[in-house]
Structure 1
Amino acid sequence: MAIKMGARSRLPRGCIARFVGEGAANVVFELTFPDPSSQNTQEFRGYLLRVPKAGKNTYTYPELQSYWEHDIVPIFGRDWLVEQRLVDLTVSDIIPHLNKVLTAEDERKPKPKRRVDFIGGRVDNVKYGMLVEDMRKKSPTDFVIEFKPKWLTQSPSAPADAKRCRTCAREALRQHKDNKGGMRRTFCPLDLLRSEYDPKAQEALCAALVPELDPFSTQFHLFSEWLRTNQLLKTLARVQQESDRHGTLRKENHDPNFELAMALRDCSCFIRIPGAAECANGNGVAARRVVEAKLGDVDKKNWEKKLGYWRELEEDLCQGYYRGTEKPRQRTKCQLERS
């Protein structure tokens, strides 16, 4: 069932939720219905339910949806974005059920699926949730990747002689504070734009993002080809750069463009790679599915709440982490360090 942008569905009673995952401010569930063939449930097929956590004091879902529709969709178009729309929860009385599901996850033996610092968190008693396109496997042979592209270009506040990009400088700071002495497996976002012509960048990204794939497999080839040819990340990098010309340290007043840049520096990229099996069309000719790549979690950032944190963090990074002069020196995978 086609739903126009801005339309609001109404979740019916009787649906059953299963915990899928969560972030700092939201939880995602899979929904099933007693009668999946019912006309009232067809519009929910292919979607997950996202709901806000209690006590987070973030923007309401209608505000987030309005921002997505009016500020994000015009930039990227719908094909490059994980589809989302509001859903009215009032009729369903589902919030108590969702919290029971979370309680069960907290008590799961031998180990909860939830992150330790998320245990105990519950869903807020809100009127609206959000239906988000399900970017998990469509078939058992699909391979799915989720990652945050982060800062695809250098921070305008970074020193001219920086030896690390903003994301890798932040990683060095995190490692230094953790004091574990090791490098977490990650990747440099700058490699995402160099993989078109830099084999070392391509190799580093594949090692970080698809280590499970056989380098001689069709799926590995499809992902490598996507890295070399996609326009999605190039567009994301361009908008990030155009929206923030001066950097965090020079921000005093509200700037919608900078707010957009920070939202796009914290979004997620979902990639679904089809399996090697090809589907035959009506004429019996093999028709290969293509790689699907979309941006999700593009949420408006709370300027007043975040600006102090952003500025303080940037000041910390300028105290040696951009230049790589902290002691002891942390190892990162930054493209600038490799150069």
Structure 2
Amino acid sequence: MKSFEYGDEKISDKEIMIALPSIVLGVGILSLPKDLASVTISSDGWIGILGGGVIAILITWLLAKLAVKFPNQSFFRFTSVVLSKPVAIIVSLLFAAIWLNVTAFEVRRIADVSKQYLFDSTPVEVIALSFLLVVVYAVSGSRAGLFRLNMMFLPIILFIALAVLVFNIRWFDPNQLLPLFKTDIQGYIKGMHAGVTSYAGFVIVLFYIGLVDNPERTPKLAAYGMCIPVVLYIILFVMCIGVFGHAATTNLIYPTIELAKGVEIPGGFLERFESVFFVIWIMAIFNTTSMALDIVVLCLNSIFTKTNKIKIVILVAPLVYAIGMFPQNIMEVSTFGSTTIDLALIYTVLIGLILFVMAKIRGVKRGAK
């Protein structure tokens, strides 16, 4: 069968806006309420989400402002202009290595969660391989096609999240949210750290704005796009605390899924709503993993220009699988994931700052090639 090709690989600024929440809303949202409740008191974790969200929105806007200075240019190309080609090769290789590990983490985490809630008799290795093959198939095709999948999936994902929240309102106890503002400064800092790392997907603005035809409005729309997960995370966290209480939320591995398990549809025609929720949420994790792997391919393809994209995907996929299967238990997976996301966040901000400063020092003008 001949693969379908889009007429071009261009995308719109609205697709960037949709892609940002799509890559952010991955496996992290399943355990985020627990992570925040573990370091804060009562319902104070929402402050970490909001503070981290404001920082993430600002970083997203600044990175987008940097990228639009070089319209219709790839990350590798404008980095070569600002920092020189040899440095751009090193920077891109490090980005590829980091996001290779992010992809591996996403694949392993979705396999672990699927085994726990859906396929308890299926080996983790089989689940991970099956999911990875679907992601590989998606990334091997049109890059613009990935963005169109985001636009199709995101409304469905937001609808199912809203359904979970609505059907849990009757169990919500506002008294569970009290007392307020009892967390110390260190707790707020840890909460903000957990919040910021949950938005690490903003890196995509560096790599995909070059595909936008008219990127003048892209920084503003990218900032709007980051507002979606911020609002959703705050509502979800408050709902978990209001339904389960602080102590129970701290001890639940995946509070978001437990919220879905508590849903009771009137009439009793759907008794296991969490299965529907999880199947839909796989779409979100698919979006995140596909774009993470595509960043790896994009970086490597920019360096090895004569190598076919599909060959790169085929060579990279076994590495993703091997790295994802290396952690031996859930604690090692969590440590691997938190370390990798921290590294991705720090590296992205550092490179963005260096590019900003060097572009100013060297007097690189808009559209320079």
Fold equivalence (TM over 0.5): no
Higher relative contact order (CA 8 A, sep 6+): 2
Larger radius of gyration: 1
- TM-score, normalised to structure 1, is 0.24
Whichever structure has more helix as a proportion of its residues is: 2
Question: TM-score scaled to structure 2, two decimals?
Answer: 0.22
Per residue, is there more strand in 1 or in 2? 1
